[in-house]
């Protein structure tokens, strides 16, 4: 089974490090993190990813532009807005997105 690839974008470095550690603790997930939007865009253009996770510190206008960029470049990308709440909430948010994705693919295959 292929590992799920994550890009995590956030301005708070200590929180970004924690999120990377939490996501990478799952053997089926691999995450890279960025605090700079342009560097994140460059990485995104060169890699096929499954999930983009937004963390704290990104201005609203920049976040909106980044979401539009990600969806334009890779329409199937899943986006999670995570601004705290602990590791349990993060895992639930990820699993919820994965379940929605699984159901969407199932319905597409049945059509």
Residue of 88 and 46 predicted with greater confidence: 46
- Round to whole Å and give the CA distance between 22 and 75: 26
Q: What is the SS3 assignment for 79?
A: strand
| 13 pLDDT more than 90 | yes
pTM: 0.92
Q: Quickly state the pLDDT bin for 11 (edges 50, 70, 90).
A: very high
Q: Quickly state the pLDDT bin for 33 (edges 50, 70, 90).
A: very high
Structural domains in the chain (count): 1
Q: Give the per-residue pLDDT at 85.
A: 80
- Round to whole Å and give the CA distance between 65 and 86: 26
Domain that holds residue 59: 4-110
The CATH number covering residue 74 comes to 3.40.50.2300
Residue of 72 and 1 predicted with greater confidence: 72
């Amino acid at each position: 089974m292929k590992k799920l690839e994550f890009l995590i974008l956030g301005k708070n470095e200590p929180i970004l490090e924690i999120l990377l550690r939490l996501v990478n603790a799952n053997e089926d997930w691999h995450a890279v993190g960025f605090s700079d939007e342009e560097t994140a865009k460059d990485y995104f253009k060169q890699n096929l990813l499954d999930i983009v996770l937004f963390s704290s510190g990104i201005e609203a206008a920049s976040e909106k532009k980044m979401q539009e960029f990600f969806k334009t470049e890779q329409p199937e990308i899943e986006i999670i807005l995570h601004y705290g709440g602990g590791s349990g909430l993060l895992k639930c948010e990820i699993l919820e997105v994965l379940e929605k994705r699984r159901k969407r693919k199932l319905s597409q295959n049945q059509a």
